[in-house]
Structure 1
Amino acid sequence: MKKIILSAIAVMAFGFMNAQETRFGIKGGLNLTTLTGDATDAKSLVGFQVGGFAEIKIIEKLAIQPEVLYSTQGAKYDNFGDTKLDYLNIPVLAKYYITNQFTVEAGPQIGFLLSAKDDGEDIKNGTRSVDLGFNFGAGYNFTDNLSVGLRYTVGISNIYDNDYNNLTNYVDYSVRNSVLALALAYKF
């Protein structure tokens, strides 16, 4: 994990030093989330995300976009209620301008668990404090300042730790986050 954080910091520092232009912004939107893997009966849960970002132009059509987002995630279950997970997510995306209006983006994300509840009961002790994911997305710029984006985050790491698996008698129980987000962004 230290290598991932240090790599992200190095990429951002390099980008700031060599950037042609850096713009900052805020964003917010809706999340449609679920849990995948061994969570076979999980259904989608509606949440939200809000935060800020920096768009660091490297060359004319390419930018690096680090973000800091508060994100509500989780899933609904028919048998035992909802699993609600709150994260502080830090994605670092490579953003390519196909045209001045259309963009595509991809990149890794690290998430830090803020709270975890299962049917209202605190399960943070059985949930991993760090979540890794990878993002794919596209965006449309209405103006130089206002844009909309659609992004899918594929969870890479198991959200439950080994203690939870042992308590629930699931030896290899692997559950990952899955997030489809629609967000509105404003650049200053």
Structure 2
Amino acid sequence: MKKIILCAIAIMAFGFANAQKTRFGVKGGLNIATIGGANEANALIGVQLGGFAEINVWKKLYIQPELLFSTQGAKFEYYGERDQTVNLNYINIPVVAKYYITKQFSVEAGPQLGLLVSSKNIQDEKSVDAGFNLGAGYNFTDNFSVGIRYTIGLTSIYDNNDYYDNDGYYYNDRYTNNVLALTAAYKF
């Protein structure tokens, strides 16, 4: 895990050193999270907070590495049984390519690495999560913007998804973090 973090820092440092123009900022917002692959999963409302750097690499193309604290998970409603909420807290490190279609409107896509900080009501969870982001943003001013981003989970959140049911049938289910984020950002 230390190698992954050091590699991410090295990539960001290289980008900063070679950037034509770099702006730093803070962002925060609302997460609407669920666990893909789970039939009974309902959305869980959470938050994300953190910082970012917007690095101009070529004309309207930017690279935006971020460091975010994100609350994720899902609510499960079982008929005739007690409901359960799965809370997962991550430090997410997305690195998105951001393209400005106009001065105000941008689209973005890129990978994300998540490091599990804490969890509640889950067992055998993985400490590292991977996802892919797709999103868009709108700049109201040079400093203030809003964005929407959907993170598609690429890896299962559980260490072991293989199991046999009572009749001897083998299952290999994959449960992924899927998050819709609505954020506001301020660039310095």
TM interval, shorter chain, is 0.7 to 0.9
Q: Distance in 2 between matches of 1:168 and 1:89?
A: 34
> SS at 1:100's partner residue?
coil
Partner of 1:73: 72
Runs (4+) off by over 3 Å: 1-11, 164-171
Range with bigger deviation, 164-173 or 70-79: 164-173
Partner of 1:41: 40
Partner of 2:57: 58
- The answer to which structure has the higher helix fraction is 1
Deviations 1:128-178 (A, max 9, x none): 00000000000000000000000000000000012x756999852310000
Report 1:4-153 matches (<5 A). 8-9=8-9, 11-37=11-37, 39-79=38-78, 80-118=83-121, 123=122, 126-153=124-151
TM-score normalised to structure 1 length: 0.88
Query: Gapped runs of 5+ residues in structure 1?
Result: none
What number of residue pairs does the alignment pair up? 181
The 1:89/1:168 distance shift into structure 2, 3 A limit, reads farther
Range with bigger deviation, 74-83 or 1-10: 1-10
> SS at 1:148's partner residue?
strand
Partner of 2:173: 173
**Contact 1:8 1:92 (C-alpha < 8 Å) held by counterparts:** no
Root-mean-square deviation (CA), in Å?
2.3
Identical aligned residues as a percent: 63
> SS at 1:15's partner residue?
helix
Deviations 1:46-88 (A, max 9, x none): 0010000001111220111000000000111112411110000
TM-score normalised to structure 2 length: 0.88
